[in-house]
Amino acid sequence: MTTAISNIFVLMLENRSFDHMLGFSGISGTDAVSGKTRSVNGLSGKESNKFQGKDFPVTQPADPMMPVDPGHEFTDTLIQLCGPGATYQPGGSYPAIDNSGFITNYASHASNKFGDIMKCFKADQLRVLNALAKNFALCDGWFASMPGPTFPNRFFACAASSGGLDHSPTAGEILTWETIAGFRFPNGSIFDALSEKFATGWRIYAGDNFPLAAALKGIHHADVHSFRNFVTDIGNANYPWHYTWIEPNYGDIAGGTYKGGNSQHPLDGVTQGEALIKATYEAIRNSPHWNSSLLIVTWDEHGGFYDHAQPQRAVPPGDTQPGSKYNQFGFTFDRYGVRVPAVIVSPLIPANIVDNRKYDHASIPATVEAAFGLRPLTARDAAANNVLSLLSLTKPRANCPKTLPRPAKLAAPKAKKRRIPKLTETVNDGNVPGLLLVAIRLDMEISPPSEMHAILNRVQTIQTRGQAQQYLHEVATKKKALDRIKTRAQGTPKKRRKSRRNSSR
C-alpha cells in the first residue's frame, strides 16, 4: 500500500466531452512531465465540421442543456469520429479518425440548429470545475475507454473491461445477466479485488436509489449509501473505506427527461452537477482524511459533443473475444473513445498542473491497484497509466481551498423546445434496460423470497417508458417504506438514549 494515500474517491458524471466543457477554458499551467508552462490542449476557435456544404465552427458559450439527447451509441460515435458513411467491420480495425462527423450525426437526431453540438462552455459558466482544475491537476489526455455509450464505459471504470459489452444493453439482455444476479466480468471487478484483500475495501454512495454500479454481480443495495450521508460519514475520523465510488442522481431516466438529476446529462443541464462536484470536494477537503486522500472527477463518455483530439489505439482487455455474448458490433476494444474531462485532486499535488499523458477509465482501477497493492484485472489496466505520479509533494499543501465557488446560475434559452420522449415509447434503448436491472435487483433484495417469480413476471411485461417509470416508482416507494420501518425499529438516537436511561432506573 502507498503510505501517502489511504482513501481514494471517484466521482463520475455523465456525457460531456473535454472540448465542450474546457476547450475554451484558457487554462495554462505546469506540464506534469516537462515542468514547463503550457496551455491546455483546447480549442483555437478555428475547429469545425462541415454539413450540407456549410462550415459549423466551435463557438462559445454553450447552452447548459440540450433540446434533444445527442447520439452517443457505438454507431453514432463511429460517424462522429470517422465521418459520414463510415462503417466498422466486426473484428476488424477501427476506421481512420478525423473527428469530422459530429454535425452529420447530430443532424440525424435534431431537426434544426445543428451547430449546437459544437458549442462549448465559457470558463465562467463552469466556475466549480475550472476552480478545481486550476487548484490541482487537469488531465487533457483522458479518454473514454471505448467509442460508445454509458454502460460499457462505466464498466471499464469498475473492471478495466466491459465484459465484451459494446452497446447499451437491451431489455432482453438484462434478463440473462447471470439470471438477475448482476453483470459478471471474467476477471471480476475492482470491488471484488478490494474485498479479497481488505475487510473495509470499498463503499458506494449514490444520489438516488438506482446507481448503475448496482448492476454488477457482487454489489448489493445494502452496500449502497445515500450521498446525503457522505459529509457526516467522511467527517468521522474512523472512516475506514479505502475506495469510495460516488454516483450522481440520474433524474428521470425512464421518462427520458432526466429531470431532477445532477449527473450533468445533456437534457438536465450542468448547474446541479457543479453543485455535486463542489459538495464532494468540500466534504473531503474539510474531513480528517484530507491529507491522505485522492479524488478523481471525470465523465463516463462524451455524450455526442464535439472534441478535436483524435482517440488513439488502446490495449484490448483480453478477457473476451469479438462475437462473445454481449459483443453486438464485434468491437475489439483496440481504440479509445472520445476525450472527456478529468481532474485529479489531492493536497500532495502542486497547484495548476496540466497532464497530457494518456489515460482512460481503466486508469481508475490501475490507480487503486497501484495504491493498495492489487494485481491488474485485465491487460488494459496493466498497460494503463495511473495518476499516483501526480502526487509529487512530500507533505500536503496548506493552501488548498476549503470551499469552491458557487455554481453559476444558467438558464436554458427560452426559444428552444425540448424533445420529450413519449411514455408510450419502447424501453429497449439507452440506459433504461440497465436501470431496470438495478431496480429488479433492489426489488428482489427488499422483497420476501416468495415474491421472486412475481417480480420477474412483472418485469417481463414492461414494454414502454411509462411502464418502466411506474415500476421504478413502486420499487422506490417500497424501499422508502422499508427504510421507515427500520428507522422506527431502531428509534432515533434521542429515543434510544431515553430508553437506556429508563431501563437503568
Asked if pLDDT for residue 225 goes beyond 80, the answer is yes
- With CA atoms as reference, report the closest residue to 32 among 386, 311, 396: 386
- Which pLDDT does position 230 carry in this prediction? 97
Give the integer Cα–Cα distance in Å for 436 and 151.
Answer: 13
Residue 77 has pLDDT above 90, yes or no: yes
pLDDT at residue 415 tops 60: no
pLDDT at position 170 over 90: no
Query: Per-residue confidence at 427, pLDDT binned at 50, 70, 90?
Result: confident
Task: Count CB-CB contacts under 10 A for residue 31.
Answer: 16
Angle, to 10 degrees, between the axis of helix 363-372 and the axis of helix 190-197? Answer: 10
pLDDT for 176 equals 72
Place of cell 501526480: 390
Q: Retrieve residue 318's grid coordinates.
A: 483480453
Percent of the chain with pLDDT over 90: 78
Rounded Cα gap, residues 257 and 269, in angstroms: 11
Domain ranges of the chain: 7-390, 432-503
- What are the two backbone dihedrals, phi and then psi, of residue 456, each rounded to the nearest 5 degrees? -60, -40
Q: Give the β-pairing of 293-299 and 48-51.
A: unpaired
Q: Is the pLDDT of residue 502 over 60?
A: no
pLDDT beyond 60 at 3 = no
Structure confidence at residue 256 (pLDDT): 86
d(CA 430, CA 150): 9
Q: Reduced to 3 states, what is the DSSP secondary structure of residue 359?
A: strand
Least confident of 2-6, 83-87, 207-211: 2-6
Q: What is the pLDDT of residues 241-259, one digit of tens each?
A: 999 999 999 999 988 889 9
pLDDT of 505 above 70: no
First to last CA, the chain: 50
> In the predicted model, what is the mean pLDDT of residues 418-446?
81
pLDDT in tens, 291-325: 999 999 999 999 999 999 999 999 999 999 998 88
Positive or negative torsion for Cα 71, 421, 328, 178: positive
As a whole number of angstroms, the distance between CA 230 and CA 10 comes to 13
Q: What average pLDDT does range 38-51 have in this prediction?
A: 97
Q: Confidence band (pLDDT; 50, 70, 90) for 430?
A: confident
Which CATH superfamily groups domain 7-390? Answer: Alkaline Phosphatase, subunit A (3.40.720.10)
- Give residue 416's pLDDT: 56
Among the listed residues 308, 272, 367, the one whose alpha carbon sits nearest the alpha carbon of residue 118: 308
What average pLDDT score do residues 7-24 get? 98
| Cross-strand partners of 137 | 344, 353
pLDDT tens column, 340-366: 999 999 999 999 999 999 999 999 999
Instruction: Tell me whether strands 359-360 and 142-143 are parallel, antiparallel or unpaired.
Output: parallel
Residue 424 has pLDDT above 80, yes or no: no
Q: Which H or E run contains 394? A: none
Q: Is 292 helix (H, G, I), strand (E, B) or coil?
A: helix
Supply angle C-alpha 331, 337, 340, rounded to 5. 160
Query: Quick one: pLDDT at residue 490?
Result: 66
Of 331-345, 394-408, 454-468, 480-494, the least confident:
480-494
The set of cell numbers assigned to 170 is 437491451
pLDDT at 418: 62
What is each CA distance from 307 to 16, 257, 303, 415, in whole angstroms? 10, 25, 11, 26
What is the spatial distance between Cα 116 and Cα 118, in angstroms, rounded to a whole number? Answer: 5
Of 171-185, 189-203, 392-406, minimum mean pLDDT range: 171-185
Which pLDDT score, from 0 to 100, does residue 179 have? Answer: 60
**Average confidence (pLDDT) over 269-297:** 97
Is the pLDDT reported for residue 419 higher than 70? no
Q: Please determine, for residue 2, whether its predicted confidence score (pLDDT) is greater than 90.
A: no
- In sequence order, which residues have a C-beta less than 8 Å from that of residue 138 and are 6 or more positions away? 22, 27, 29, 40, 341, 342, 343, 353, 354, 355
